[in-house]
Structures are given as C-alpha cells and as structure tokens.
Amino acid sequence: MEKIKMTTPLVEMDGDEMTRIIWQMIKEKLLLPFIDLKTEYYDLGLAHRNETDDKVTVESAEATKKYGVAVKCATITPNAARMTEYDLKEMWKSPNGTIRAILDGTVFRAPIIVEGITPYIPTWTKPITIARHAYGDVYKNTELRVSQGSKAELKVTDQDGHETSALIYDFEDSAGIIQGLHNKDKSIEGFARSCFNYALDTKQDIWFASKDTISKQYDHRFKDIFAEVFENDYRAKFEEAGIEYFYTLIDDAVARVIRSEGGYIWACKNYDGDVMSDMVATAYGSLAMMTSVLVSPDGIYEYEAAHGTVQRHYYKYCKGEKTSTNPVATIYAWTGALRKRGELDSLPALCGFADKLEKAVLATISEGIMTGDLAAISTLANKQTADTETFLDEIGIRLERLLNQ
C-alpha cells in the first residue's frame, strides 16, 4: 500500500513521562506505517525546555503561527518537586500557558463517546464541547481584607487624569473582604470569534451564558460583545450552515445542559469553564477520553489530550512494569491535527485516514479490548484489559483492515 502524502508539515510538540512514551508508540504503530508523515519537531520535554531556557516552547508556538496546525503531547508544568527531579535552572512556566499567550486562543474540550461507556447523564448521547474563556476575571484578581470601619471604593483614572469612583461597601459594622476583577473587550471579542469559528467548523450550535441580570456592567458586556460580533460577522454564515447561537443566563444554561442530549458547544466565562469542564469530563466517564483543541481567533489550531503526563504510570513503566495507560485522547489529538491539515491542504486521503483511525479506536473498545481505566467503567460483558502496547496493536490491526477496504 502506498503511503498517504502530506504537503505542509504539522508542528509536532513532544512532551513528558508516560505520554512521551505513548507518543512514540502511536507514531511507530499507527502513523508511520501508513503516512509519509511530515512534521516540524519541537521537543517540549522538560529536560529540553530547561536546556533551551524554555525558548523551544516559544519557537514551537511561532511555528504553529506559521503553519497553522500543531499537535502537542502532555507536558510537565514544573513545581518545587520537579525542580529537584530535573535539576531545573528555573521553575519554567506552563507550556500551555506560554503557547496560549502567543496564539491568543480559546480551548475547546470534547469527550470521545464510545459504546459500552455510559455517561452518568444517560441522555447525553452526543458530546458536549466546553469552550473556556481563559483570560481575566477571578484568575487575575486583586483582593484585600478590610478592617471594620473602612470604606472601600472602586476608582478609575482615565488617560486624561479624570477620576471616576463608586462605593463598593462601607464596612461600618464588620471587617470583611473585597475583590477587584477585570476583563478586556479585545479578549472577549477574540473569545467570541474563536467560538463562532469553531461552531462553523464543527457544524454545532453554540450556547453562551453569563449572569447579566445581576452583573449589569461586567457580565452584560460579555453578552453585548457576543451579540455584536454575531450580528456583524456570523449571523449569515450560521444561517447558511443551519446552526444557531443561543444566549441565556448561566443557571438556566446549567438546567438545559442537564436535560439536553449534547451535540453543541457551551461557551463559558473563565470560572464557569473551569468548574463545568470538570463536571462534564467526569460525567462522560474518563479524563483519558477528553480531547482538547486550542483555536485562535484567526484560525490557528493546536490539538492535544486534556489529561496530563500520567506520572504514576510512568514511574511503573520505568521500573519495567507494563502499564495500561489510555492513549485514546492522544491518538485523537493526532487525528484532529491530521484532519485539519488535510482540510487546509485539500488532501482527502489524509482526512480519510484520520476518520479511519478514529473508527479503529472505537471498534477496538466496543469489541471489548480496552485499557484499565475504561474496563473499570465499561458495561460490556466481554471486556478485557489490555496493556497500552497491546491495545495500540489491536487498533493497528483494525486500522489496516479499514484502510484496505
């Protein structure tokens, strides 16, 4: 069989620990035998980030800007323990944070749904994709404790030196706490555009919610910017695509989400997205079955798994033990990136390969062969736990069959 050709390279960001091992296995067993894989390789493994003073992370993000599509392996975000473990020069920042700051994107997380793994909410038969606005609000706040008898005010000085102030609270009868939040029109608009683009891309409705009835300036600004961007630039495209933009209050959204069958994108403010993405991931069964894609307002894509480097499994692997680490979300990061590359470069064979690889993954699991995390929650009677390598080999057998059809 002739290998499938690529024209533009994918930006490949390698990572750490168990996912770095799996990364290599996926390439060897599922990609290289079938594709003339063209990538521009960046090693974001912690040792190499340290060697390059983290320049490699910035370079990989710049390359993503140039080529438009990247696939990323999970990476360690250093903490105190990692400083000693890897003898680091500095506690380097989270690569995801660095990449996101350069691409200015929104992260979309979607569960992979498979036969035999029933979501805790049985009506959720289609994926719910969560889009989290990853800027500002409580994550970039200023907080103070306030003693009794103090008066707290908000004060803004404009560029001409004019001051506007408003009373927050007069703490006459008790000590207390205050918090200052901000967001930027530019960031909210970028978020809205990423969301609308991704909805068009995936042909799904998009929901957005805030608490504009209570927060008449702050949350209302989010509602207004979304409405304005939608009216000006997206209404016609949505009509043509047969999809909808729907705004409601956050509590109403939560109630509707629970009653829904899924199949839409739920755009969330920063805090809502933090909380709801964990709820949605758990309800669908496993963090190891959650995909993640960063989409910039100007249409640049970076695909990855939502989980981390699976450190505990890696230490077992290093001792020579077989592990049953789930590679599905990492495989889907590759299929997402290859399909997007295929779409951009008009390579239907590459898109077809991505479809078939996903089909092979789902077939393997629904035929009862799965990793331990899935076996623990699967309702299939004939389920058997496979180690990572065996599981990948089983996917490979089914993939080859599909490609030869």
By CB under 6 A, name the binding residues for ligand NAP.
74-77, 96, 287-288, 304, 307-312, 325-326, 373
Shortest distance (Å) from residue 262 CB to ligand NAP: 22
Shortest distance (Å) from residue 57 CB to Mg ion: 23
Cβ-based nearer residue to Mg ion, 239 or 278: 278
Compute the CA torsion angle 352, 286, 126, 225 (nearest 10 deg): -100
Cβ-based nearer residue to ligand NAP, 206 or 395: 395
201 binds, among Mg ion, ligand NAP, none (CB under 5 to 8 A by kind): none
Cβ-based nearer residue to ligand NAP, 78 or 396: 78
Shortest distance (Å) from residue 7 CB to ligand NAP: 28
Shortest distance (Å) from residue 337 CB to ligand NAP: 15
326 binds, among ligand NAP, Mg ion, none (CB under 5 to 8 A by kind): ligand NAP
Residue facing ligand NAP at closest CB distance? 308
- Token pair, residue 142, equals 């200023």
Shortest distance (Å) from residue 362 CB to Mg ion: 27
Give the footprint of Mg ion on residues 266-285 (CB under 5 A). 274, 278
278 binds, among Mg ion, ligand NAP, none (CB under 5 to 8 A by kind): Mg ion
Shortest distance (Å) from residue 214 CB to Mg ion: 23
361 binds, among ligand NAP, Mg ion, none (CB under 5 to 8 A by kind): none
Shortest distance (Å) from residue 355 CB to Mg ion: 31
Q: What number of residues does the chain have?
A: 405
Count CB-CB contacts under 10 A for residue 89.
Answer: 11
Cβ-based nearer residue to ligand NAP, 300 or 328: 328
51 binds, among Mg ion, ligand NAP, none (CB under 5 to 8 A by kind): none
CA distance 397 to 48: 34
310 binds, among Mg ion, ligand NAP, none (CB under 5 to 8 A by kind): ligand NAP
Cβ-based nearer residue to ligand NAP, 71 or 74: 74
Cβ-based nearer residue to Mg ion, 141 or 384: 141
Site pattern 180..209 for Mg ion (x: CB under 5 A) = ------------------------------
Shortest distance (Å) from residue 341 CB to ligand NAP: 21
CA distance 28 to 309: 19
Shortest distance (Å) from residue 215 CB to ligand NAP: 30
293 binds, among Mg ion, ligand NAP, none (CB under 5 to 8 A by kind): none
CA distance 403 to 405: 6
358 binds, among Mg ion, ligand NAP, none (CB under 5 to 8 A by kind): none
Query: Which residues, in sequence order, are bridge partners of residue 5?
Result: none
308 binds, among Mg ion, ligand NAP, none (CB under 5 to 8 A by kind): ligand NAP
75 binds, among ligand NAP, Mg ion, none (CB under 5 to 8 A by kind): ligand NAP
Shortest distance (Å) from residue 394 CB to Mg ion: 33
Measured between its terminal Cα atoms, the distance across the chain in Å is 12
Count CB-CB contacts under 10 A for residue 41.
Answer: 12
Give the footprint of Mg ion on residues 140-179 (CB under 5 A). none
Q: Is 7 within 8 Å of 37 (Cβ atoms)?
A: no
Q: What are phi and psi of 402, to 5 degrees?
A: -65, -40
Name the site residues for Mg ion (rule: CB under 5 A).
Answer: 274, 278
